[in-house]
Structure 1
Amino acid sequence: MAWNEPGGNSNNQDPWGGRRGGNGGGRQGPPDLDEALRKLQNKLNRLFGGKRRPDSGGSGQSSGGGTGLILIGLALLFGLWLYNAFYVVDEQEQAVILRFGKYYETVGPGLNIYFPPMDRKFQENVTRERAYSKQGQMLTQDENIVEVPLTVQYKITDLESFVLNVDQPEVSLQHATESALRHVAGSTTMDQLLTSGREQVANEVRERLQRFLDNYKTGITVTQVNIQSAAAPREVQEAFDDVIRAREDEQRERNQAETYANGVIPEARGQAQRILEEANGYREEVIARAQGEADRFNKLVAEYEKAPQVTRERLYLDAIQEVLSQSSKVLITGEAGQNNLLYLPLDKMIQSRAASASETPSSNGSSDAASTSVRTLPQLPEVRTRESR
């Protein structure tokens, strides 16, 4: 028979051993949740002076617990608002305060307070350099496609302009970077982007990008633009390498030709200058010799007018000396009727005279030879060459 059927359980107990309906005797059941909440509410009402409200059994309890809960909630909200109202700005940061959506002030480092929700706070680091990277395909001036990786370093220099003038200023920075890079790459050849012209291209991109940001009044200053090694797209990389090798071969052949020209042209110019100098020297020599001969003739005429006989003999002796100096064999006859011949080895004499003249100044040697011939020839009765006979 079940425990709750009529007459089935004389003790009127539940399965847990407790009695129904009575206030005493035996173990009680598990605590009621509603009753526990009412007890907590009554304690709070007594704390804040509220009225007791009756419980489910009709006993008198506090009836003013709702006011206490509202006060507790307001106190918690005020504490939370006060905790969020105070903030600290670091040495590297600044904060812009907007009151009712309008700029109010720029706050420096230290402990500060603002009043949300009528105030809004924007706090940023204004000394840290930030970086933005981009890579894209650009069309160069010579109609080649090049992939250019780019890194932009920037920092916030005017926090008020950064917050108020442009919505999402860093997105505007990305768009301006792409525009500046395409403009500069479109006016630059592929060789400049790939070789030594990258630094110049980076400077031009930085200047143009800074002009864009200043026009937008973003409060951002670009500190550095770095262009890494650009390359052709992978689809045309092999053809691009062939073009690079062909240009390198062209440059090598051009350098070899310039080296050869630099060696031949100065040598040819030197030879031409030498020929010009020789011609000038020969001209000066001929002119000087002609002038000397003319002066000698003028002086000889003057001497001839003073002593004709002596001058004729002297001229004769000089002519004989010149003729004999150029002949290797000479025949000398004695007096009339005598057929005595005397052979003089003038070639050996001239060679020995030339050897001795090389050791002494040529002018002394020629004068000695002339004086020797002049001394010996007048003693001979007659001098004739083989041809004159």
Structure 2
Amino acid sequence: MNWDNQNNNKNEQDPWGRNNQNDLSFDDLIKKFSLMFGKQTSGSNGSSGGSGLKFPTKKTFVYAVFGLIVLYASMCVYQLDSPERAIVLRFGEYHEETGEGLNFMLAGVDTKYVENVALTRRYSQTANMLTKDENLVDVTVSVQYRIKNLRDFVLNVKDPESSLREATESSLRHVVGDNTLEETLTTGRETIARDVDVRLQRYLDLYQTGLVIQQVNIEKTDPPSAVKPSFDDVVAAREDKVKLQNEAERYGLSIVPEARGQSFARIQAAEAYREEVVANAEGEVARFDKLLAEYKKAPKVTRDRLYLDAMQTLYGNSTKIMVDVEGGNNLMYLPLDKIIQQNKSQEDNK
């Protein structure tokens, strides 16, 4: 026996004595499927024309079924991120709501709708509105919202965002219609935004859209283009008015304290003068009472004393004296100031 041939035969057999076939690559497997389904087969085992490669029909069916099962399973499994939610409908009817992670559905039977419920969405529109005082104004409003109830969002309304736009315009027209043109263009914008927010949320809850309003902003309010120049003049005049009022208030705040200080000082001076006058008068009255008592005791002496005191006071304040001589036409001139000055000089020389 040829041992080399025996060894070769052993290498071609498996441990159970069956012949080994080379491992088929993926390309070979594709070729098998192509030949099997592209040409007609004959016999129970089936033979591919031309290639001589045999492929069992039963095994092919198993592979096909297995592939379909894998494909169908991959279509039934889906994954959602943390902010996402999904609504699953089975035969068109609500079945369940799924959340984050891997989820399962019956492909071909179930239908899923996936939405990001944590995403804040924004909608903006500009519309021409009629105010309470029958004026037209262009109002630009922006609405920030998100999905609160995914089931209502998917099932109750055909187009929730279209309903949101219509409800926004309706709310805005109602609120602007309750305000005048001046309020809409100037001071009432925050109040209008707050009222639109409340009314719009009420409409969305009534429609069961599943949306929640987070914020409403009145971004811009403009008068119609035909009257815009005139309105700009009115706004400029209003700003000038406010500016002049502020300047007047600032001047008043600076001048009023100063005037109050001057008024207080004058009041204090008047009170001091009054006290001084009253004290002098009281002193004169007391002095007169004492003189009166002395006068009653010695009238002539008191009169002479009063006369001499009066003359002393009078001449003490005069520097020159003219003396009329009785029975004559001559006048005597006494230069008291020079006499006093001469006496002081003599005293200084001594």
Give the shorter-chain TM-score range: 0.5 to 0.7
In 2 relative to 1, CA 170–340 (structure 1 residues): closer, same or farther, beyond 3 Å? closer
Contact 2:185 2:222 in 1 (8 A): yes
**Larger radius of gyration between Structure 1 and Structure 2:** 1
One-letter amino acid of the structure 2 residue matched with residue 317 of structure 1: L
Are residues 340 and 132 of structure 1, via their aligned partners in 2, closer, same or farther at CA, if it must alter by over 3 Å? closer
Cα distance, 1:310 vs structure 2: 6.2
The answer as to whether partners of 1:333 and 1:342 remain within 8 angstroms in 2 is: no
Q: Corresponding residue for 2:196?
A: 205
Query: 1:120 aligned to 100, 105, 111, which one?
Result: 111
Q: Distance in 1 between matches of 2:315 and 2:147?
A: 109
8 Å Cα contact 1:330/1:346 also seen in 2: no
Q: Give 1:180's aligned residue.
A: 171
User: How far, CA to CA, are the matches of 2:115 and 2:199 in structure 1?
Assistant: 26
Q: Unaligned regions of 5+ residues in structure 2, if any?
A: 1-34, 47-56, 341-350
1:158-169 to 2 correspondences below 5 Å: 158-169=149-160
Deviation at 1:92, TM superposition (A): 1.6
The answer to whether the Cα contact below 8 Å between 2:132 and 2:178 also exists between their aligned partners in 1 is yes
Q: CA, structure 1 residues 340+214, in 2 after alignment: closer, same or farther (shift >3 Å)? A: same
Q: State the alpha-carbon separation in 2 of the partners of residues 84 and 108 from structure 1.
A: 18
Q: Check 1:303–1:41 CA distance in 2 against 1; reply closer, same or farther (3 A cut).
A: farther
Q: Secondary structure at the match of 2:85?
A: strand
SS in 1 for 2:197: helix
1:291 aligns with 2:301: no
Larger relative contact order (CA 8 Å, sep ≥ 6): 2
Q: For residues 198 and 338 of structure 2, what CA distance do their matches in structure 1 show?
A: 93
Contact 1:98 1:104 (C-alpha < 8 Å) held by counterparts:
yes
In structure 2, the residue matched to 1:62 is none
- Specify the SS of the correspondent of 1:131: strand
Give the aligned partner of residue 210 of structure 2.
219
Correspondence 1:171 to 2:145? no
Separation of aligned partners in 1, 2:156 and 2:304 = 121
Distance 2:37 2:158 in 1: 54
Equivalent position of 1:135 in the other structure:
126
Give percent identity, aligned residues only. Answer: 45
In 2, the alpha carbon distance for the partners of 1:247 and 1:271 equals 36
User: Quick one: distance in 2 between partners of 1:321 and 1:94?
Assistant: 119
Root mean square deviation, CA, Å: 4.7
| Structure 1 residue 125, shift from structure 2 partner | 0.3
Distance 2:339 2:240 in 1: 68
Please state how far the C-alpha of 1:209 moved relative to its aligned partner.
2.5
3-state SS of 2:167 partner: helix
Decide which moves more: 203-212 or 139-148.
203-212
- Pairs within 5 Å for 1:302-321: 302=293, 311-321=302-312
User: Structure 2 vs 1, CA of residues 332 and 122 (structure 1 numbering), >3 Å: closer, same or farther?
Assistant: same
- Choose which of 207, 230, 235 in structure 1 pairs with 2:226: 235
Amino acid at match of 2:196: V
What code does the residue aligned with 2:76 have? A
Secondary structure in structure 2 of the residue aligned to 1:134? strand
Q: CA deviation at 1:134?
A: 0.6
- CA separation in 2, counterparts of 1:82 and 1:41? 31
TM-score normalised by structure 2 residue count: 0.62
Q: Name the CA distance, whole Å, in 1 between partners of 2:202 and 2:307.
A: 103
Which one of 307, 314, 330 corresponds to residue 321 of structure 2?
Answer: 330
Residues 137-180 of structure 1: per-residue CA shift (max 9 Å, x gap): 12233433221222212111332332344442222211221122
- Separation in 2, partners of 1:289, 1:198: 72
Aligned pair partner of 2:78 in 84, 87, 94: 87
Pair 1:155 & 2:146 matched: yes
In the alignment, the residues of structure 2 paired with residue 288 and residue 116 of structure 1 have an alpha-carbon distance, to the nearest angstrom, of: 116
Q: What's the secondary structure of 1:154's corresponding residue?
A: strand
Instruction: Name the SS for the 1:213 alignment partner.
Output: helix
Moved more, 298-307 or 268-277: 268-277
Query: Unaligned 5+ residue runs, structure 1?
Result: 1-35, 49-64, 350-389
Q: Distance in 1 between matches of 2:141 and 2:135?
A: 18
Report the more deviating stretch, 98-107 or 270-279. Answer: 270-279
Instruction: Output one character per residue of 1:272-325: Cα deviation in whole Å (capped at 9) or x when no partner.
Output: 777766655554444343333223333444555677676545433332233335
TM-score if structure 1 supplies the norm length?
0.57
